[in-house]
């Protein structure tokens, strides 16, 4: 999948136009996936590139400044999933003051028509755009009639009667309802990153961990989890993970994802891994001493092993869709 970061009229990749959709796509959940399916279908029929139009940072992060909503997917994670879905291009300009100030007509003329040469546009039923969210479906339809592109509105996707949304998934994760999040996402919730060095306290306690920096301004979940890890030559590896500020050891600070891999004995510093959160075991807590903490770690590991044995295989499989 090709990444386009800056609007450049006349891009060779889009010289004949494209079939596109616009959104934040945080989490790339089932609703997003259905829209992408439609974009890819129309693009194949018209022999044009299938394109997703998003922003980095997200508008929510730009407007909230110091207290952004917890992000479900980092840019690299989103790019990876979109690539796996079969899209041809990701157009991802920076969301900045200039973008914020764009009026609907300028947004359409500058970005959709001049930069992307959109031939067919698919949007969600609640899509709004441009300055103060003034633009809507009717504006796109009117512009399409003037410029010769089609506009299609895609209805909401529901699971068990619940509308699929990034907000709903965020709420499910914060409540520890990982199975609900899985159903709304179409796969287990996942975080990915490169393994970094730590203080090796886990090794001293008999629980060596792979440490992953979150690279998020805020995390949608915290606690102790049964997990499965992909991205290693060994294939799918079960484990137990802590995601939080380690109150017993450091008393707060930058959140860190620490993963103890079961029956695994290899240095993986520098490796890029993906962690699927299968079930939440408990909240993070502060212990009076390291001995008490180690005893609880043994209990957590035993419970995670047992739980993962009872969960069907393929937890690490991406985009395991459910209707």
The CATH code of the domain that includes 61 is: 3.40.50.620
Average pLDDT over residues 272-288: 95
Residue 170 forms part of a structural domain: yes
Residue that finishes a domain, picked among 129, 156, 183: 156
- In degrees, rounded to 5, the angle at the alpha carbon of residue 74 between the alpha carbons of residues 111 and 125 is 50
Mean pLDDT of 171-195: 97
- Do 11 and 152 fall within a single domain? yes
For residue 36, being part of any structural domain is answered with yes
Confidence of residue 251 (pLDDT cuts 50, 70, 90): low
Say if residue 302's pLDDT is above 60.
Answer: yes
Percent of the chain with pLDDT over 90: 75
* Per-residue model confidence (pLDDT) at position 319: 47
Write the CATH number for 260.
Answer: 2.40.30.30
Residue 252: per-residue pLDDT: 59
Same domain, yes or no, for 43 and 99? Answer: yes
- Of 18, 19, 23, 20, give the one whose Cα is nearest residue 127: 23
Are 51 and 181 found together in one domain?
no
- As a whole number, mean pLDDT of residues 276-294 equals 93
Mean pLDDT of 277-298: 93
Count of domains for the chain: 2
Same domain, 45 and 74: yes
Residue 206 in any domain: the answer is: yes
| Pairwise CA distance, residues 160 & 266, whole Å | 42
Q: Which of 156, 177, 192 is the last residue of a domain?
A: 156
Q: CA torsion, points 223, 226, 228, 232, in degrees to nearest 10?
A: 70
Is residue 204 domain-resident? yes
Predicted confidence (pLDDT) per residue in 12-34, tens digit: 678 899 999 999 999 999 999 99
Compute the average pLDDT of residues 111-135: 95
With a cut of 60, say whether residue 316 has pLDDT above it. Answer: no
Question: Does residue 290 sit in the same domain as residue 176?
Answer: yes
Q: What is the pLDDT of residue 7?
A: 63
User: Looking at the structure, do residues 237 and 115 belong to the same domain, yes or no?
Assistant: no
Find how far residue 205's CA is from the centre of its chain: 33
Whether residues 143 and 228 fall in one domain: no
- Read off the pLDDT of each residue in 220-249 and give the average, rounded to a whole number: 92
Q: Give me the mean pLDDT over the 302-322 stretch.
A: 69
Number of residues that make up the chain: 323
Residues 290 and 190 in one domain: yes
Which of the residue ranges 46-60, 92-106, 191-205, 302-316 would you say has the lowest mean pLDDT? 302-316
- If one compares 131 and 316, the residue with the highest pLDDT of the two is 131
State the residue range of the domain holding 248.
Answer: 164-310
Q: How far apart are CA 3 and CA 313, in angstroms?
A: 33
170 and 135 part of one domain? no
Asked if residue 315 is part of any domain, the answer here is no
On the question of pLDDT at 321 being above 90, the answer is: no
pLDDT at residue 322 above 60?
Answer: no
Q: Which of 140, 156, 172 is the last residue of a domain?
A: 156
What does each C-alpha distance from 133 to 87, 101, 137 come to in angstroms?
Answer: 26, 10, 11
Which residue would you say has higher pLDDT here, 167 or 11? Answer: 167
Are residues 191 and 144 part of one domain? no
Q: Is residue 322 part of a domain?
A: no
Strand positions, DSSP E, the chain: 2-4, 18-22, 50-53, 89-91, 118-124, 150-154, 158-159, 162-163, 189-196, 210-213, 223-230, 237-244, 256-261, 272-282
Q: Token digits for 178? A: 């990982």
Top-confidence range, 2-16, 28-42, 64-78, 300-314: 28-42
Relative to beta strand 18-22, strand 118-124 is: parallel
Note the pLDDT of residue 226.
98
CA distance 286 to 251: 8
Task: Note whether 9 and 145 are same-domain residues.
Answer: yes
Higher pLDDT, 90 or 316: 90
The overall average pLDDT reported for the chain is: 91
79 and 57, same structural domain? yes
pLDDT at 313: 57
Residue 316 included in any domain: no
**Residue 264 within a domain:** yes
Quick check: 247 pLDDT over 90?
no
On whether the CB atoms of residues 221 and 175 are closer than 8 A, the answer is no
For 65-84, give the DSSP string.
Answer: TTSPPPPSS-HHHHHHHHHH
Q: Are 98 and 117 in contact (CB under 8 A)?
A: no
């Amino acid at each position: 999948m090709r990444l386009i970061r800056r609007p450049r009229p006349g891009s060779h990749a889009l010289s004949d136009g494209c079939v596109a959709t616009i959104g934040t796509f945080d989490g790339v959940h089932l609703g997003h996936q259905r829209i992408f399916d439609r974009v890819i279908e129309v693009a194949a029929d018209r022999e044009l590139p299938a394109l997703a139009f998003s922003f980095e940072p997200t508008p929510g992060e730009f407007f909230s400044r110091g207290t952004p909503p917890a992000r479900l997917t980092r840019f690299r994670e989103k790019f990876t999933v979109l690539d796996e879905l079969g899209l041809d291009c990701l157009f991802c300009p920076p969301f900045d003051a200039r973008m914020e100030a764009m009026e609907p007509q300028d947004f359409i003329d500058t970005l959709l028509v001049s930069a992307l040469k959109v031939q067919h546009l698919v949007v969600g039923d609640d899509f709004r755009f441009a300055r103060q969210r003034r633009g809507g479906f009717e504006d796109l339809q009117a512009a399409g009639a003037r410029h010769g592109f089609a506009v299609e509105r895609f209805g909401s996707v529901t699971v068990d009667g619940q509308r699929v949304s990034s907000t709903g998934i965020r709420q499910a994760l914060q409540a520890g309802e990982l199975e609900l999040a899985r159903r709304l996402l179409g796969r287990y919730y996942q975080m990915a990153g490169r393994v970094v060095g730590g203080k090796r306290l886990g090794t001293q306690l008999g629980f060596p961990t792979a440490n992953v920096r979150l690279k998020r301004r805020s995390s949608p979940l915290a606690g102790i989890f049964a997990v499965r890890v992909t991205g290693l030559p060994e294939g799918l590896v079960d484990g137990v993970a802590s995601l939080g500020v380690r109150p017993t050891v450091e008393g707060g600070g930058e959140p860190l994802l620490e993963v103890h891999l079961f029956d695994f004995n290899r240095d993986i510093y520098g490796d890029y891994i993906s962690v699927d959160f299968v079930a939440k075991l408990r909240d993070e807590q502060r212990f009076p001493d390291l001995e008490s903490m180690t005893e609880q770690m043994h209990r957590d590991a035993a419970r995670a092993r047992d739980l993962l044995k009872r969960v069907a295989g393929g937890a690490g499989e991406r985009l395991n869709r459910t209707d």
